[in-house]
Amino acid sequence: MQLEISQFLVWIMLVAFLITAFLRSGYPKLKRWNMRRKLMDDIDAKYESLRNLRRNLVYHIDWAIDRGEPSQARSLEPEIERIDSELEELRIQYEELLRGKNPEGKSFK
């Protein structure tokens, strides 16, 4: 009976040690990984939204040119340039996240 209680206490201490070790080292890493994944998903969603917007603008520019309204087409071109620059910024942010850097300058490693 005494031996069973001792073994039980050893198991309880081992489990408590493992839980403490996870909470001290594993949980922060899991939290950083989850934050990084969420940021990457947000960037990906914005990127896809801007790509769709750009595709629609290109369609409207082509349509305006076909209708013989080049001034309408020229008025939409700055918007395409703005979207292209935003897409480039998002691509850079995404690549930084892949390398383990946070866009705010903090490291995820």
In the chain, the percentage of residues whose pLDDT exceeds 90 is 63
Q: Give the residue extent of every domain in the chain.
A: 32-109
Per-residue pLDDT at 109 exceeds 60:
no
**Selection from 55, 57, 43, 53 nearest residue 88 by Cα:** 43
Would the pTM count as exceeding 0.85?
Answer: no
Quickly tell me which residue has 């008025």 as its tokens.
Answer: 75
Burial 95-105 (b: 16+ CB within 10 A, else e): ebbeeebeeee
Q: What DSSP state is assigned to residue 101?
A: B
Q: What is the mean pLDDT of residues 88-100?
A: 92
Please write the tens of the pLDDT for every residue from 32-81: 889 999 999 999 999 999 999 999 999 999 999 999 999 999 999 999 99
